[in-house]
Amino acid sequence: MSGAHEQKAPLGVAAIGYAFMGKAHSQAWRNVAAYFDVPAVEQRVLVGRDSEQVAEAAARYGWAESATDWREVIARDDVQIVDICAPGWLHAEIAIAALEAGKHVLVEKPLANSMAESERMVAAAQAARARGVQSMVGFNYRRVPALAFAKQLIADGRLGAVREVRASYLQDWLADEDSPMTWRLRKETAGSGALGDIASHAIDQVQFLLGDTVTEVSGRLHTFVGQRPGPSGVEDVTVDDAAWATLSLAGGAVASVEVSRVALGRKNSLRIEVYGSAGALTFDLERLNELEFLDGAVPVAEQGFRRIVVTEPEHPYVGAWWPQGHVIGWEHTFTHQIRDFLLAIRDGAAPSPSFEEGLQVQRVLAAVEESAAAKSTIVQL
């Protein structure tokens, strides 16, 4: 095995993209070593298209340098990690080139915009893994302490056999029909709409929490606002505003998924409810420090959902932060993600979610589209 395993010098990081996710990942790279015992890293270079703007962002977010050509950056000897915070249409091209250049890759979700791209990325990840080069996809909500704890409770059998999951992810930033066109509203750049953007998170959670795999899908997509103002006049929206799906899992559970970017009043509400034969759980990302747990072993007359404030040192990730009850935020999930990625690199182990797990989510997304195009016919995976 070569590379990072024996590496003593700091790992050089390059991030591609400096807007929303670039900013979120930058704060995680900046603070991860202050809170967690991880290999040393250096924020070497931030990449964007506009040299002035990316230079300003690099200075603000703690990067030593900025650049405008990601191909030159991934070829650099002082870069060992490439963090892809660019839109989906660039994921496959950058990730495959970076893996082939021997760089560990963290790529934002969803893995890519299509099955074909995702499959090529998995092939590149497998070849790289054989050379000790790691890869991971950024389903950061796996690193919300309450959800990581929920997974433990389910794995420990506290819910008994899981029967049903309700996963909804509702936002309202597109509720205004005058909201302008962006890359997220064009099929050629985003792949899909709310489906790939946020149902990908919900589907990943269903499979992550249950440790199970979706086998059957029925889906529906809808676009409520068909045209929006673009830079040169009115443009057609070519992706969904909202998506619905029912999923069968190999272990026998059934899940419903409902996502929208036009659900007025819902800001970033990823809600998960899990019902088992011996207990139940509910979670809402807008209250991410809390998990509600109903223990079916309690006498019925005393049963009810208990609110657990997931800030004890015993809870996943939390011991590194503040004393009990001193809550953490959305941005901490990215620090936890990078912590786990760095530990995997240190240990020469494959991090999770792997590109294979990203591909499995992609299969479900593709099946929702296929089903939706055929009047919600059930599609087998």
Using CB under 6 A as the criterion, which residues of the chain lie in contact with ligand NAD when the complex forms?
Answer: 16-22, 47-49, 70, 85-88, 90, 108-109, 138, 140, 197
Nearer to ligand NAD, 337 or 360 (CB): 337
Nearer to ligand NAD, 36 or 141 (CB): 141
CB of 142 to ligand NAD, least distance (A): 10
Q: In Å, what is the CA distance from 335 to each residue of 30, 67, 331?
A: 9, 24, 7
Helices and strands in the chain, H and E counts: 11, 17
CB of 19 to ligand NAD, least distance (A): 3
Q: Pseudo-torsion of CA 146, 149, 151, 153, nearest 10°?
A: -130
CB of 88 to ligand NAD, least distance (A): 5
CB of 282 to ligand NAD, least distance (A): 21
CB of 132 to ligand NAD, least distance (A): 26
What tokens does 168 get?
Answer: 């909804």
Residue 294 contacts residue 311 (beta carbons within 8 Å): no
Q: In Å, what is the CA distance from 243 to each residue of 47, 190, 192, 211, 361?
A: 33, 15, 10, 23, 15
| Residue type, position 358, single letter | G
- Helical packing angle, 200-210 and 355-373, nearest 10°: 120
Nearer to ligand NAD, 92 or 153 (CB): 92
Candidates 288, 261, 292, 154; CA nearest to 199 is 261
Nearer to ligand NAD, 113 or 218 (CB): 113
Nearer to ligand NAD, 74 or 245 (CB): 74
Q: 88-124 as b/e, with b when 16 or more CB fall inside 10 Å? A: bbbbbbbbbbbbebbbbbbbbbbbbbbeebbbbbbeb
Q: Pseudo-torsion of CA 255, 338, 357, 172, nearest 10°?
A: 40
Rounded Cα distance, 327 and 306, in Å: 18
CB of 50 to ligand NAD, least distance (A): 7
H/E stretch holding 334 reads helix 332-347
Nearer to ligand NAD, 22 or 219 (CB): 22
Nearer to ligand NAD, 18 or 275 (CB): 18
